[in-house]
Chains A and B, each alone.
Chain A
Amino acid sequence: MDTLAPDDPTPDSLLPLPPATFHILLAVADQDRHGYAIIQEVAARTDGAMTLSAGTLYRSIQKMVELQLIEETAERPAPDLDDERRRYYRITAFGREVARAEAQRLQALVRIARTCGLAPRSA
């Protein structure tokens, strides 16, 4: 895809991640998913608190592909069940690094909140 930048960004330079981006990374962390599946996965993981609109989803995907956080995969999990229009995405190694960095950032934040008595002792 469009890999324009010869010197790529570091994980830290992308933080903090927009919530939609982080959720998409989490949704494709364990298995490749297509767009609609990502929407469903995010909704399920957050008990419906986060519903990605189609526009937000695909705009985020577009940008994440350009930043090489995720990539399109040619493999289709179950070809007979699959709609051929669907594109599947998987997390890249860089995407994993970025997701990890974001998780650490959030963890550190929670730790601070905890010392201030604003979060429960054990999460």
Chain B
Amino acid sequence: MPLWHLLLHLLPSAMREAHGAEMTALLRRDLARARGMGAVVVLATALADLVWNALRAHLDATALDLRDVWRSARRAPGFATSVVIVTALGVGAATAAFSLADHVLLRPLPFAAPDALVKLWQDQTSRGYSRMELSPGNFEDWRAQSSSFQSMSAYAASSANAMTPGGALRLDTAQVSATLFETLGVGAALGRALFAADGEPAAAPTVVLSDHVWRSTFAASRDVLGATLMLNGTAHVVVGVMPAWFEFPTRDVDLWLPLRFTPDELDDRANVYLRVVARLRPGVTIAQARADLNAVAAGLARAFPEANDKTGATVIALRDEVTRQSRTMLLALAGASAAVLLIACANLASLFLARSVARQRELSVRLAMGARPRRLARQVLTESLALAALGGVVGAGLAMAAVPVAAALVPTTLPIAEAPRADLRMLGLAALATLSTGLGFGLVPAWRIARASGGELRHGARVFGTRGTERLRGLFVVSEVAATIVLLVTVGLFLKALWQVQAIDPGFDPRGVVTARTALPLPQYEAVTARTQFYQQVLDEVRATPGVESAAYTSFLPMVMGGGIWPVLLPGTTVPEDARAASVRFVTPGYFATMRVPLVRGRDVADTDRQDSQYVAVVSRSFAELYWPGQDPLGRHFSIALQERVVVGVVGDVRVRGLERESEPQVYLPAPQVADGGLAFYIPKDLVVRASTTPASIVPAVRAAVMRADPRQPVSDVQLMADVVDRQMAARSTQVSVLAAYAGVALLLALVGIHSLLAYVVAARTQEIGVRIALGASRGQVLGLVVRRAAWLAAIGVAAGVIVAYATSRSVQALLVGISAADVGTYLWAGMVAVVTTLLGSMLPAWRAMQVDPVAAMRAE
């Protein structure tokens, strides 16, 4: 029986109080009649019946409450709609921003024991590179001589021409240590990943496919295992397919090939191109690993001083491969969403408070008719929860739609998907935000009703005082205006920063230029003459196409490829050794004209610059000024890319590394002036074409020209140069758009908040206003009364907002490219927008106040 009495508490209190004693009496009667084991059966049945019906009784009560919510929503659609919209905006904004931040900054990487995974870099801080790739020789020595790692694997991005059933394709490949998959702790979805044996020099070439290539090129056939794929003319056996979520090292990898080194490659310690990921041994910290590797690096610096002098090791957690810029942007976004959520909450609090006051009379009537305060409280709570739930569902939908739009904020340096998928975490977050909103704004009024002794409400005493409510709601409006100011200032500053970046001259004119890539495979195109013939034929045909102004080939496109740096050798120069590096590009004649890089002095590279003529170079202005300040650079000699060259021309500087980054001085070399089979990495492969017509319209002609020159060579990476430049600003423009959307939502919410507060004040003071008008107050004075109040609230909100905004802007200073966090114009603009919004919000209530009929108002008393 004690259990029975305990379980009676599962019943709704009203039912327990009304029927608990009778139910107990009935059970006693049945127990008295039962004999032996029968009593146990009776008790067990009664307990089960009690639990089941307690549950049903709660559902019944909730159903009744929901019916009432629906009715009251139909009677006061404005309130219900406002609550749903405000909750949806708040929950949507918070869910979207936190999902992105969680995806990029918090969530563990999708690998086994991801906390033990680290990235390793060479540290040449003295030359300005704290994160530099490794040479094959150094990588093998790091792996053999260090003791902190369970496994260490290298990888390098590459690409390959593939002959597939659908024709020739250019595929992005990752050449990886055969141990990479073991290091990451990832297996194949189909077949197997690479084994250590695949990396042996004598092993048959193998390849692992990405899920998307498997689906798009091999029709997701399981027969692909064991099939042969021709890559750069070599047969590779397909051994496995990776899962769709596996995006290492980048999202666009099509194939993984085992990385193998020739003895020559191992000897060349200056050829740094390998990235390295490693798994720490259990119990080893990052600091210990760093000390270990630095000791190894010091040994290598002594053994190979030419390449390894002043070279240490950088060890960072793989999870932290997020640039400070990405991190700050996401934190700014999270902050903005928190501000929107805050405004939404202030608005909801205000709405529910007003609602409670408005329902006071209704509640009194119900109490007078015998309703129990707890039942009423429960109903009020159900109302807030139901409306919040509806808002939460809409908000989660908004978040799901919004997240992919903001995907440009997800950095490409992390091996994760472009955008978080809508998953349980995201929905859980939305549910949590919704539940706390519903409970938060339902509980307080419900609690006050439940506590009010029946008499208080019944006799018309006010549980919610008008004046106190007004003050509280005024405070909410002030905080809404303040939060809006913070968002407006942030958006304003970011917008100015975006304009600043847009105004940066890239050093070339991207408009009207289309580019396409054809990487010529070795050994077929090892000879310079073979390549020259190919370039000549393609360029002649492309240039003859109507609408084409000029065309040329280059090693790499600016901003697409920032590397390709070579040390400059110039005996007797005073330039510090660490600064003697230049970005090297082999180009065909016409490159500068096509890109509209201004030729400042001398000449362009020419067809007469052949493999057997004098080796020449065209240098950028900054290069000339660095090595020969105040002198004529033409005719000067220096060595780069394994040859001594003479300067024949000077061109303008190009932002090779991107709009917001410093670039090395540039050196352009004639495409043929390299040894056969040498510097394969620099072989020109990017075609740039300037068109006077729509650039996209000449793409078929380009494809046809390449096809005629060599039908086995695919054309890939067709893009407009303008898009390349725009991508530089993609994260920034997305950031500004997202923040602007948030600021817009905030403004809208603040407008609603101000309007509803003033409407409430005017309604509550209709009699007072009536008396004032009767006593001779003009309509203008009444208008002033309302507008003054709005202006006061706005002024306090703006003042508070400006202080917070300044503190916030300073924390994102790093993203502002020189724009001051105290930019006066931005603050003035934000303040004005907020004040105008406030006044707009006061218009309708002010107009209503002016229309008050004094006679009717006083008669209502």
Contacts and interface: CB of A to CB of B under 8 A. Distances in A.
B22 A59 contact: no
Contacts of A58: 15, 18-19, 22-23, 53
A82 interface: no
A3 B26 CA distance: 28
Contacts of A83: 25
Contact of B57 (A1, A34, A39, A59): A59
Interface stretch (B60-68, B86-94, B156-164, B830-838): B60-68
Contacts of A3: 366, 369-371
20 contacts: A2-B370, A2-B371, A2-B375, A4-B64, A4-B379, A35-B19, A36-B29, A53-B46, A53-B49, A56-B49, A58-B53, A59-B56, A62-B12, A62-B15, A62-B57, A63-B57, A63-B60, A63-B64, A83-B25, A87-B22
Given A2-B372, A4-B64, A62-B60, 7 more contacts: A1-B371, A7-B71, A53-B45, A54-B26, A59-B60, A62-B15, A62-B18
Interface in A37-91: 39, 53-56, 58-59, 61-63, 66, 83, 85-87
B57 A54 contact: no
B18 to A, nearest CB: 7
Contacts of A109: none
Nearest to B15: A62
A30 to B, nearest CB: 22
Nearest to A83: B25
Contacts of B25: 36, 83, 85
Interface string B427-460: 0000000000000000000000000000000000
A5 interface: yes
Contacts of A39: 26
B371 A4 contact: yes
A34 B372 CA distance: 23
Nearest to B51: A55
Q: Per DSSP, are chain B's interface residues mostly helix, strand or loop, or mixed?
A: helix
B53 A85 contact: no
Nearest to B365: A6
Contacts of A53: 45-46, 49, 53
Given A58-B23, A83-B25, A5 B53 contact: no
A66 B497 CA distance: 64
Interface size class of A (residues with CB under 8 A): 20 to 34
A18 B139 CA distance: 78
A85 B837 CA distance: 64
A35 B53 contact: no
A54 B68 contact: no
Interface string B534-556: 00000000000000000000000
A60 to B, nearest CB: 9
For the complex of A and B, 8 pairs with smallest distance between CB atoms = A55-B53, A58-B19, A55-B49, A53-B49, A59-B53, A62-B15, A59-B57, A85-B21
B398 interface: no
Contacts of B49: 53-56
Interface residues of B, number: 35
B22 A86 contact: yes
Contacts of A59: 15, 53, 56-57, 60
A36 B372 CA distance: 26
B550 to A, nearest CB: 80
Nearest to A35: B22
A54 B46 contact: yes
A59 B68 CA distance: 20
B15 A5 contact: no
A55 B11 CA distance: 10
Given A35-B19, A58-B23, A62-B18, A4 B366 contact: yes
Nearest to B29: A36
Contacts of B60: 59, 62-63
Nearest to B21: A85
Contacts of B21: 85
B14 interface: yes
B407 interface: no
A1 B71 contact: no
Nearest to B369: A3
Contacts of A36: 22, 25-26, 29
A34 B25 CA distance: 13
B26 A87 contact: no
A87 B15 CA distance: 13
A53 to B, nearest CB: 4
Most chain B CB inside 10 Å of its own CB: which residue of A1, A62, A63, A87: A62
A54 B23 contact: yes
A87 B17 CA distance: 12
A36 B23 CA distance: 9
A56 B53 contact: yes
Contacts of A6: 71, 362
Contacts of B53: 53, 55-56, 58-59
A39 B19 CA distance: 14
Nearest to B375: A2
B829 interface: no
A59 B52 CA distance: 10
B14 A5 contact: no
Given A36-B26, A54-B46, A62-B14, A4 B370 contact: no
A5 B54 CA distance: 23
Contacts of B64: 4-5, 63, 66
A83 B28 CA distance: 14
Contacts of A62: 12, 14-15, 18-19, 57, 60
Contacts of B371: 1-4
Nearest to A7: B71
B20 to A, nearest CB: 9
Nearest to A36: B26
A28 to B, nearest CB: 15
B50 interface: yes
Contacts of B45: 53
A101 to B, nearest CB: 19
A2 B56 contact: no
Most chain B CB inside 10 Å of its own CB: which residue of A6, A36, A59: A59
B23 to A, nearest CB: 5
B225 interface: no
Given A55-B49, A62-B57, A5 B26 contact: no
A48 to B, nearest CB: 16
Contacts of B14: 2, 62
A23 B853 CA distance: 58
B68 A4 contact: yes
Nearest to A62: B15
A1 B57 CA distance: 16
Interface string B341-369: 00000000000000000000010001001
A91 B19 CA distance: 18
A54 B71 contact: no
B111 to A, nearest CB: 53
Contacts of B67: 5
Contacts of A1: 370-371
A5 B68 contact: yes
Most chain B CB inside 10 Å of its own CB: which residue of A1, A58, A83: A58
B713 to A, nearest CB: 76
Nearest to B58: A59
A53 B54 CA distance: 13
A33 to B, nearest CB: 12
A66 B15 CA distance: 11
Contacts of B26: 35-36, 39, 54
A54 B52 contact: no
A55 B56 CA distance: 10
Contacts of B369: 3
B376 to A, nearest CB: 8
A74 B362 CA distance: 28
B471 to A, nearest CB: 32
Contacts of A85: 21-22, 25
B796 interface: no
Interface string A1-27: 111111100000000000000000000
B27 interface: yes
